[in-house]
Structure 1
Amino acid sequence: MIYVIDDEKDICQLVSQELEQFGYHVRSFTTGAQACHAIRTRPPVLCIIDLGLPDMDGMELVKQLCELHSIGVMILSGRNSVPDKVLGLELGADDYIVKPFVPRELVARVNSLVRRITNSETQAKHETRTARFANLSYDPKTLSLSSTDGRQAELSSAEHDLLIKLLKTPKTILSRDQLMGDSTGPFDRSIDVRMSRVRKKVEQDPKNPEIIKTIYGVGYILTTDVSWHN
């Protein structure tokens, strides 16, 4: 199930029709309140959200969904500024598409995002072990991260994808392309913004990372050993 949240009924209809042609079940909402009620009743796989909602700030809705629900979030907005794109991704959105948009490009990005979410859930179900590194423990089954000093955090599916790739190949430099896989980023800085979200949950001081370091011009490296436990 995919939810389209946009106060423009024409946009809701266009997006719904395009996605339904590719076999998706879609519901549309013109206010944030309607969408929030539906999400509490039946969480979707993905929400496509316009930032200019009549009853609430779209960014606030993005923030709430990414904090409370393990679902995909795609922003569909007329705001084309880099600060808006960065903020949306920092709040946890998986993708950002600017209006006016090409419907088939939107479908392609939805396909990629849904595929990544599905793959992440499948991999998490099959990975029964917990990873321990530095002073942290990560459980892929629940996407939960805990530290020896009592800190706890839950990762989104996008954050899980980045962290698990680093955990599987510790002390090895991974390029941005290797980390992103087939994910379609809305602009070149998307991987860096997503990595900053992971660092906020992993590092003691995200501005001076020690666990996940940037290798400028190349990619990222997990600097610690990793052990896996049943």
Structure 2
Amino acid sequence: MSRPPHIAILDDEPEIRRMLADALEEAGFRVTTHGRATEFEAALKRMAPDVCLVDLGLPDRDGLAVVHRLALESGASIIIISGRAQVQDRVTGLELGADDYIIKPFDPAEVVARVRARLRKARAEPDRGTQVAHFNGWTALFDRYVLLAADGTEVPFSHAEGEVLRLFLDAPKRLISRAQMQESLGGVAGESFDRAMDVRISRLRTKLGEDPKNPTLIKTIYGAGYIFLGDVHWG
């Protein structure tokens, strides 16, 4: 019998931790809670959570820095839970690698639903064995979150950037509209989602050595979406 998904909570408010843990455990998840970033990061050396719920207002570390490190080093989905409600805060969180952003105060049932949605998306991703894709002199290693250049140089990418890259590699030479991106990647359609996608695509172009004024792999079709023009081989 498989073990239930593991959800890790990082929030310095004991009441929030208890409320989230109670709701998630009642929904059938395994839950660990942490009040400080240092203890949370130490625990990550011994565990591999499926989803991390991260508060931004931490007493010992910048929450956004924790999110960014998680995105680079962990395969877990990341959901920010924060009292910061400004659009720019949400955009920054998504830019740094978060998969979703929930504003306090919240209904625990909504958090459970968002967690389930992230897990469904992860299960729906096709199994490609070693999670390796080759295209135009590059190798994408999705199990390590690394782009490998032809000369052996390793360029790390975040979990959020990897989701966009996988979307392109799954559908090369086909138009992908903003609506399709929102449906595939989740999130709330609108200005903050569009800006987050623009940033992720810009960062991918930079990591792939693209000329920002004339990219050859990820082309913008203004008013329609994007097309990935590379030749892709999985495995």
TM-score interval w.r.t. the shorter chain? Answer: 0.7 to 0.9
RMSD: 2.5
Does structure 1 residue 221 correspond to structure 2 residue 224?
A: no
- Please list the CA deviations of residues 159-213 of structure 1 after superposition, one character each: whole Å capped at 9, or x if unmatched: 3332233223222211123234354314523233443343343343457533212
Identity percentage of aligned residues? 37
Alignment of 1:130-209 (within 5 A): 130-133=133-136, 135-140=137-142, 142-186=144-188, 188=190, 189-190=192-193, 191-206=197-212, 209=215
- Please list the CA deviations of residues 28-81 of structure 1 after superposition, one character each: whole Å capped at 9, or x if unmatched: 111111111111111211111111111111111112211222221111000111
Q: Is contact 1:124–1:141 with CA below 8 Å preserved after alignment?
A: no
TM-score if structure 1 supplies the norm length?
0.85
TM-score if structure 2 supplies the norm length?
0.84
Does structure 1 residue 69 correspond to structure 2 residue 59?
A: no
Letter in 2 for 1:174: I
Whole-Å separation in 2 of the counterparts to 1:64 and 1:210: 30
Q: Is contact 2:97–2:159 with CA below 8 Å preserved after alignment?
A: no
Whole-Å separation in 1 of the counterparts to 2:27 and 2:209: 41
Match of 2:3 in 1: none
Match of 2:27 in 1: 22
Whole-Å separation in 1 of the counterparts to 2:130 and 2:43: 30
Give the 3 Å change call, closer, same or farther, for CA 55–143 of structure 1 in structure 2.
closer
User: Bigger shift: 43-52 or 169-178?
Assistant: 169-178
SS at match of 1:181: helix
Q: Give the aligned length.
A: 226
Unaligned runs of 5+ in 2: 1-5
Whole-Å separation in 2 of the counterparts to 1:101 and 1:208: 43
Give the 3 Å change call, closer, same or farther, for CA 192–18 of structure 1 in structure 2.
farther
Does structure 1 residue 78 correspond to structure 2 residue 80?
A: no
Match of 2:218 in 1: 212
SS at match of 1:36: helix
Give the 3 Å change call, closer, same or farther, for CA 113–29 of structure 1 in structure 2.
same
Letter in 1 for 2:135: R
Match of 1:125 in 2: 129
Give 1:154 deviation, angstroms.
Answer: 3.6
Whole-Å separation in 1 of the counterparts to 2:212 and 2:148: 16
Give 1:140 deviation, angstroms.
Answer: 4.5
Whole-Å separation in 2 of the counterparts to 1:29 and 1:37: 10
Does structure 1 residue 114 correspond to structure 2 residue 119?
A: yes
Letter in 2 for 1:40: K
Match of 2:17 in 1: 12
Whole-Å separation in 2 of the counterparts to 1:59 and 1:28: 18
SS at match of 1:125: coil
Give 1:86 deviation, angstroms.
Answer: 1.6
Give the 3 Å change call, closer, same or farther, for CA 12–187 of structure 1 in structure 2.
farther
Selected match of 2:7 from 2, 5, 8: 2
Match of 1:97 in 2: 102
Letter in 2 for 1:45: D
Whole-Å separation in 1 of the counterparts to 2:32 and 2:157: 26
Q: Is contact 1:96–1:186 with CA below 8 Å preserved after alignment?
A: no
Does structure 1 residue 51 correspond to structure 2 residue 56?
A: yes
Give the 3 Å change call, closer, same or farther, for CA 73–205 of structure 1 in structure 2.
farther
SS at match of 1:101: coil
